[in-house]
Amino acid sequence: MMGTMQSTFKNAVIASILTAIILMPIVGMPLQREGINLVINYQIWKVGVGCLAVFLFQMASPFFVRLPSVSRLTIIVVAVLSLILIVHPLYSDYAAVATMWSLAWRVGLVVFCAVAIPLLIRLNERIASSRSESRPALTSNPWVVAAVIVVAVVWPFMADRSALNVSTLVLIYIVLGLGLNIVVGFAGLLDLGYVGFYAIGAYTYALLFKFCGLGFWEALPVAGLITAIFGFILGFPVLRLRGDYLAIVTLGFGEIIRLLLLNLNQWTGGPDGISNIPKPSIFGLEMSRRASDGGQTFHQFVLSTLGIDWSFNTMHVMIFMYLIGLLMALVTLWVSNRLIRMPIGRAWEALREDEIACRSLGLNPTNIKLSAFTLGAMFAGFAGALFAAMQSNVTPKSFEFMESALILAIVVLGGMGSQLGVILAAILITALPEIARDFAEYRMLVFGLIMVLMMRWRPQGLLPMKRPHVELRT
């Protein structure tokens, strides 16, 4: 026991020293402008706080690892949320945060996560066990599904402009996460260039509007078809690759797409991209303040048909975009859920577990890989078209490698192959940075820390997929 404590203390001291070496030039000695000169603003106390936190964490790690995995995950999430939502804002802007309402919703969110995370994990385990025992799962209850959908539909009418914009972005990332989950989670093919399909879908809608005058609903199936074709084409060079080599090739594909969009100025607009992309219409009725030549807005139609003087508001457009995103996310979830239960889904799982065994069973790995890349790319194309309509402009800057890393992190953090996990991770990764904008400069640091902690203590993800298995009892 004494030897273990000495070893833990030694490791804690070494970790604290390394933390001080790393934090000193970054956090402890930031540069500050005074007139025309740059001076060092010494903040050694921040380095000390970081070293103390690392020391205490290392000392507590032997006791921490003995806790159940659910408890460990809950403690990690609550600690990170407390730091982002309470500790840092209180330090940086005490007067704005210390009001009763602001502090109440921040503490309430932390408490809600502390209660909800264990419940969600238990619910996921219950669903998996009910499926393996051929009992109806909770999510198969139409009342539960209907209640969730009703809450999601009512939400935009209660949210403000900022929350609605973030919610629509969350839905786009849910579609992207579910699409990549087919490639990575179901088929086991590591794809680091998924953002390339996302960009192709967005630019397909933008180019079809720019040169052909097509609207969102006409361009949406074309965007999905073109990205599916690109996914099929990408599948051929990587048929014989796996693991790290597959990741490198797909990473190169994503960068090639971005560079092409950046340099084909005559079509894509180069670094400036394409702007003035229209929003989706409702049965040909424009959701805008003024109609184009020969057109009619939705509000004018309501006034002329129903006699209701419904004045235009940009919130109506945002609510409409949210509802389209919600519909797209629900369709993607339903389709991917059906696919995994079909023979093609079983073939993906066989390929993921053992390609040689898959081949020995008479399955064609070529067709299986191509189907995974094609279907995954199609959903990315749909999400890209919705993103272009939401932003009204697209630029190559929006489709850099970090987007691929973010989408892959959603799949890994939620649990590869787990659809509920992907949805939860998309909400956390997309919404939290928007909620904690004061912590934006440390976003990637906190993000990396969360991923390291997850890989260390819960590598299977937040809500891992429970695969059916057979136990032989003697």
Tell me the domain boundaries of the chain: 1-66, 68-93+100-123, 159-282+314-457
Q: 345, 164 in Cβ contact below 8 A?
A: no
Integer CA distances (angstroms), 358 to 363, 367, 369, 414, in order: 6, 12, 12, 26
pLDDT score, position 134:
39
CA–CA distance, 5 with 327 (Å, rounded to integer): 55
CA–CA distance, 462 with 416 (Å, rounded to integer): 10
Q: 374, 235 in Cβ contact below 8 A?
A: yes
CA–CA distance, 412 with 192 (Å, rounded to integer): 13
Count of beta carbons in the 10 Å neighbourhood of residue 440: 10
CA–CA distance, 196 with 189 (Å, rounded to integer): 16
DSSP 3-state of 315: helix
CB within 8 A of 262, min separation 6: which ones? Answer: 268, 270, 271, 396
Profile the chain (474 residues) by mean pLDDT over runs of 10 residues: 73 84 78 75 78 80 70 72 66 54 67 73 62 44 74 83 86 93 88 91 93 88 94 81 82 90 88 87 69 64 63 78 92 90 87 83 85 92 93 90 87 84 85 65 68 72 64 56
Count of beta carbons in the 10 Å neighbourhood of residue 218: 13
Count of beta carbons in the 10 Å neighbourhood of residue 390: 22
Q: Is 270 left (phi over 0), alpha (psi -120 to 50) or beta?
A: left
Going by C-alpha positions, the residue among 200, 82, 123, 64 that lies closest to residue 446 is 82
DSSP 3-state of 133: coil
Q: 427, 434 in Cβ contact below 8 A?
A: no
The tokens of 23 are what?
């934090």
CA–CA distance, 388 with 391 (Å, rounded to integer): 5
Integer CA distances (angstroms), 173 to 181, 274, 382, 429, 468, in order: 12, 22, 11, 9, 28
Q: 279, 392 in Cβ contact below 8 A?
A: yes
Task: Provide the residue type at 318 as one letter.
Answer: M
CATH topology of domain 159-282+314-457: ABC transporter involved in vitamin B12 uptake, BtuC (1.10.3470)
CA–CA distance, 128 with 184 (Å, rounded to integer): 20
- Cα dihedral 342, 343, 346, 350, rounded to 10, equals -160
pLDDT score, position 326:
93
Read off the pTM.
0.76
